[in-house]
Structure 1
Amino acid sequence: MATLVLVRHGRTTANASGVLAGRTPGVLLDDAGHEQVARTGERLAAVPLVAVVSSPMERCRQTRAAILERQPGSPTAPVEHAISECDYGDWQGRPLKELAKEPLWSTVQSHPSAAVFPGGESLLAMQARAVEAVRRIDAEVEAEHGPSAVWAAVSHGDLIKALLADALGMHLDLFQRIQVDPASISIVRYTTSRPYVLAQNTHAGDLGWLVPKEQESSTDAVPGGGAGPGTGQSAAAAPEDLDDGPAELAGPGRS
């Protein structure tokens, strides 16, 4: 069972100014964003990643560079267009406070599976392409590097929320309940029986438990929750020392 580390890019100039960046070119990390991704790179330095896959957007490639800079080995670093930002169409480049007055905003909040951005794509289509891509890449990583391999995907807030919703077995209409902050780390392990969400929206905490080791063949969940990683009780057990970030408004483009 390969392990997927989902990383949202660091804070950008658009995030700081409350603008829905979307796929606008030239949106870069601001000073706070550079500090955030440096810390994320430091957290992942203890984990030998076999690949760091990135959305093509500049802010994600900047974040990937910060991760690669601190990697002890030489992971592959491909760009994957299927994990690019949602195509927000005509909403792209507009202030969030202005978009909040649009009738579609309430659909995005309460019924996102029905949200289709004018001139862009639907949130449902975004989720479908992202889920297909990460599950495909995860299978390729495991086939090439073995079941203990760890790889990272650097992407965007709404897209990572949609991936976590899929892994949790949640309908997309519930994905606004999930928070994914800039430069946060979430962790998913896909198995033959089910995906396991090992961590979500973490900003601190030791990731040494992700260092590849021989795993048990069983993918069953342990009744009662098990004793955690390194105990031999569950290949999908998660640590308890990872903190969650603060909640904030679940509008589109917190990405």
Structure 2
Amino acid sequence: MAAVVSSPLKRCRNTVELALPESDIYEDDGLIECGYGDWEGQKLKDLSKEPLWSVVQQHPSAAVFPNGEAMSDMSARAIGTIRRWDAKITEEHGPEALWLACTHGDVIKAIIADALGLHLDQFQRIVADPASISVIRYTPTRPFVVRVNEGGDLRTLVPPKSTGTDSDAAVGGGAGAGV
């Protein structure tokens, strides 16, 4: 694994240490959870009664948490962080380098939405369970969303050898790749 990058919050760091105990871990504040401000530590059943709840659910790009962060700011921060790390690792280790980022549910959903070309307002359609694996492969022209919200062995994530057309999408969904 070329690099392991984690949110500095303890729960992410602990997850990575359990999954990849031999790895050096880089912490990056860009992957920290959204700053929920006054909402932090509150019960979801109570928050669901707040007027901001429907904004978070239906129009998250307009959500700004009291004494906290705007969801749009969290999204921009996280996407910028992921793209910066991917460019750095690609430059140092090549385009086939495998690296891992460990972060939080809303951050993951924002990154996946961006990779899918979706507006942040659609990110509530994405599920990112605790300790799940989602895989995005960035290329010079577009990202490819390879997996979303899966469990399993990290060794299955080793990418196939490059074909020289890494920015091209497979025609027919890749069914003819071996033919």
TM range (shorter): over 0.9
Gaps of 5+ in 1: 1-48, 234-255
1:211 deviates by: 2.6
Q: Contact conserved, 1:189 with 1:196, CA < 8 A, in 2?
A: yes
| Structure 1 residue identity aligned to 2:29 | H
Name the counterpart of 1:65: 17
Name the counterpart of 1:126: 74
| Structure 2 residue identity aligned to 1:160 | I
**What secondary structure sits across from 1:78 in the alignment?**
strand
Higher relative helix content: 2
| Structure 2 residue identity aligned to 1:90 | D
Give TM-score scaled by structure 2 length.
Answer: 0.93
Instruction: Give 4+ residue runs of structure 1 displaced > 2 Å after superposition.
Output: 204-208, 210-214
**What secondary structure sits across from 1:217 in the alignment?**
coil
The answer on 1:157 being equivalent to 2:109 is no
Q: Contact conserved, 1:162 with 1:172, CA < 8 A, in 2?
A: yes
Equivalences, count = 178
CA gap 1:186/1:212 in 2 versus in 1, 3 angstroms: closer
| Structure 2 residue identity aligned to 1:155 | T
Q: Contact conserved, 1:50 with 1:76, CA < 8 A, in 2?
A: no
CA gap 1:136/1:225 in 2 versus in 1, 3 angstroms: same
1:111 deviates by: 0.5
The answer on 1:187 being equivalent to 2:135 is yes
Name the counterpart of 1:211: 158
**1:85-109: CA deviation from partner (whole Å, max 9, x where unpaired):** 1000111111111111000000000
The answer on 1:53 being equivalent to 2:23 is no
Separation in structure 1 between the aligned mates of residue 173 and residue 28 of structure 2, nearest angstrom: 35
Name the counterpart of 1:10: none
Separation in structure 1 between the aligned mates of residue 152 and residue 77 of structure 2, nearest angstrom: 30
Q: How does 1:1-255 map to 2 (within 5 A)?
A: 49-69=1-21, 75-204=23-152, 207-208=155-156, 210-211=157-158, 214-218=161-165, 219-227=167-175, 231=177
Separation in structure 2 between the aligned mates of residue 158 and residue 232 of structure 1, nearest angstrom: 37
Q: Contact conserved, 1:184 with 1:202, CA < 8 A, in 2?
A: yes
1:192 deviates by: 1.2
Q: CA RMSD, aligned part only? A: 1.8
Name the counterpart of 1:33: none
Separation in structure 1 between the aligned mates of residue 138 and residue 42 of structure 2, nearest angstrom: 37
**1:106-147: CA deviation from partner (whole Å, max 9, x where unpaired):** 000001000000000110000000000000000100111111
Q: Contact conserved, 1:216 with 1:232, CA < 8 A, in 2?
A: no
Q: Contact conserved, 1:110 with 1:173, CA < 8 A, in 2?
A: yes
Gaps of 5+ in 2: none
Give TM-score scaled by structure 1 length.
Answer: 0.66
**What secondary structure sits across from 2:16 in the alignment?**
helix
Q: Contact conserved, 1:186 with 1:201, CA < 8 A, in 2?
A: yes
1:203 deviates by: 1.6
Name the counterpart of 1:250: none
Percent pairwise identity = 54
1:212 deviates by: 5.0
Q: Contact conserved, 1:112 with 1:173, CA < 8 A, in 2?
A: yes
